[in-house]
C-alpha cells in the first residue's frame, strides 16, 4: 500500500526516476537466467550504475540484467530459442498447469512427468519438491549418470 502511494505521489509531482537518470534503454525479462563468467564480471563492473538506478525499485531482478546486457558487448551473444515461449532461459517450467497450491505457480514435477522432462531440450527444470515426489528426483539423477 505504501509503495502505491509513493508511486502516485511521484506521478503527481512529475518525478520520473527512469527518464531522469537512465542513459540506457530500459529492458525487461525473466528473472531466471544463467550467465557466463565474463558477463558476470561485466555486470559487477556496472555495480554503481545498477545501484543508482535500481536501489529503490520494485522487481529489479526482472530488469537490471536485461538492461545492462542490452547496452553491453555481450548483447549479440545471448541465447534465444526458435520458439516463442518464455523458456528462452533453457528452463523447463510449466505455468499453465494446476500446481499443488493453485493457479499462478509453476507446476511441481512428479514421476508422471519424467518423459516430458527427458524429452525436453532445456538444461534445467523448475519446480521439484522432495516432500511431494522424491522419485522424480531420483529418476533424473539416474538419467544423468
Domain boundary assignment for the chain: 2-77, 91-144
pLDDT score for 17:
59
User: Residue 115 is placed in which grid cell?
Assistant: 518423459
> What pLDDT band is residue 87 in, cutting at 50, 70 and 90?
very low
Out of 86-90, 124-128, 133-137, least confident range = 86-90
Question: How far is the CA of 7 from the CAs of 1, 12, 19, 29, 51, in angstroms?
Answer: 10, 9, 15, 22, 19
Question: Mean of the per-residue pLDDT values for the chain?
Answer: 79
Task: Report whether pLDDT(82) > 90.
Answer: no
User: Residue 94 is placed in which grid cell?
Assistant: 510449466
Q: What is the pLDDT of residues 32-61, one digit of tens each?
A: 778 889 999 999 999 999 988 888 777 778
Q: How far is CA 31 from the centre of its chain?
A: 2
First to last CA, the chain: 50
Confidence (pTM)? 0.59
Amino acid at each position: 500500500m505504501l509503495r502505491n502511494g509513493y508511486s502516485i505521489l511521484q506521478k503527481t509531482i512529475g518525478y520520473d526516476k527512469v527518464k531522469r537518470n537512465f542513459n540506457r534503454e530500459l529492458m525487461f525479462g525473466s528473472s531466471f537466467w544463467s550467465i557466463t563468467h565474463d558477463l558476470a564480471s561485466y555486470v559487477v563492473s556496472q555495480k554503481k550504475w545498477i545501484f543508482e538506478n535500481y536501489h529503490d525499485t520494485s522487481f529489479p531482478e526482472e530488469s537490471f540484467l536485461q538492461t545492462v546486457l542490452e547496452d553491453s558487448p555481450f548483447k549479440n551473444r545471448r541465447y534465444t530459442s526458435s520458439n516463442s515461449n518464455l523458456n528462452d532461459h533453457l528452463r523447463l517450467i510449466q505455468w499453465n498447469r494446476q500446481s499443488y497450491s493453485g493457479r499462478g505457480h509453476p507446476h511441481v514435477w512428479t514421476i508422471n512427468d519424467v518423459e516430458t522432462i527427458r524429452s525436453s531440450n532445456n538444461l534445467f527444470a523448475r519446480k521439484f519438491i522432495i516432500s511431494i515426489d522424491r522419485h522424480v528426483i531420483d529418476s533424473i539423477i539416474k538419467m544423468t549418470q
